[in-house]
Structure 1
Amino acid sequence: MRNPARPPVFWGLVGLLTLELLAASVIALVLLFDLVAAEPASLASAIALTVLVLLAVAWMAATIVGLLRGQAWTRASAIVWQVLQFAIGLGALQGSFAQPAWGWPILIVSVLTFAVLFLPPVVKATTGRAARD
């Protein structure tokens, strides 16, 4: 069997990563709109933040496409993204401008996705061996 059926938990991972991609895409659109429609306090900072979020969107899209194609590098990419996303969520819970309304959901999704990435069926489906067998 060249392309064995992927386990349901694999599709759960794809769904979680797609949810994260959609959220990052919405943030990118809001930042782009604000960059054009509002006057930022620091234009350089606003442009840099927008570019970083657009890069994150591209990264997540590439990871999802690679995952669907069975490329082995995607698991490492998704793990790195979860660590970065966890740091963003944790930062959202701290300081004088804390935003727990969106910090907690980021943390929860990040931890859940990180855990799914280490489930044995997902590890097997993302090692690249399944596509070569």
Structure 2
Amino acid sequence: MLDSGDSPPLRPRHPQVVALVVVLALEFVALVGITVFLVFELLVAAPESYASAIALTVVVALAALWLGAIVVGAWRGGSWTRGASIVVQVLLVSVALGSFQGFLPRPDIGWILLLPAIAVFVLLFRSPVRAHLRPPLGDDEA
């Protein structure tokens, strides 16, 4: 059990850091909701291909788990979360752009995906967020 001397000091988080974590958390909640919907659909509807339906459900569930880890890492100030967040947002932008065009375009879904991705991109390059996600200095760099 940790005593008060072993716990890391609490540091106040800048509002932009909180905004980043909130947007990432909302994306996580949406992805969990999509996973639950896909599992429900898999159980009540007969898909054209069970293999494809199961594979899609597993991939979305893994993406939700990964995004959940990114949210926790961003809150804790993990330096790895910046690159991981950029990758997730690039994937969201690509799906959003695909939603604006194609055989059955859905611009409403495109905007729902695009706007949070842009917000995360902007926040990731703000000074307070960069400082929060900066790797800790080692003994040789101090």
Instruction: Output the TM-score relative to the length of structure 1.
Output: 0.91
Partner of 1:43: 50
Shift of 1:15: 0.4
The Cα shift of 1:43 comes to: 1.0
In structure 2, how many angstroms separate the alpha carbons of the residues matched to 1:52 and 1:94?
A: 24
Task: Name whichever structure is richer in helix by fraction.
Answer: 1
Q: In 2, Cα distance between the equivalents of 1:118 and 1:108?
A: 16
Q: Secondary structure at the match of 1:129?
A: coil
Runs of at least 5 residues in structure 2 that lack an aligned partner in the other structure: 1-8
Which one of the candidate residues 45, 56, 59 is aligned to 1:52?
Answer: 59
Specify which structure has the bigger relative contact order, considering alpha-carbon pairs within 8 angstroms and separated by 6 or more residues: 1
1:64 aligns with 2:95: no
Matches within 5 A, 1:18-33: 18-33=25-40
Q: Give a deviation string over 1:39-64, Cα, whole Å, max 9, x none.
A: 00111111111111101100110111
Larger radius of gyration: 2
What RMSD, in angstroms, separates the aligned Cα atoms of the two structures?
Answer: 1.7
* Structure 1 stretches of 4+ moved >6 Å: none
Listed one character per residue, the Cα deviations across residues 2-53 of structure 1 (whole Å, up to 9, x for unaligned) are: 5532211000000000010011111111100001110001111111111111
SS in 1 for 2:95: helix
How far apart, CA to CA, are the structure 1 residues paired with 2:136 and 2:18?
18
Q: How many residues align?
A: 131
**Among candidates 17, 20, 23, match of residue 16 of structure 1:** 23
* Distance in 2 between residues matched to 1:85 and 1:34, nearest whole Å: 23
Identical aligned residues as a percent? 40
Gaps of 5+ in 1: none
Match of 1:125 among 125, 128, 132: 132
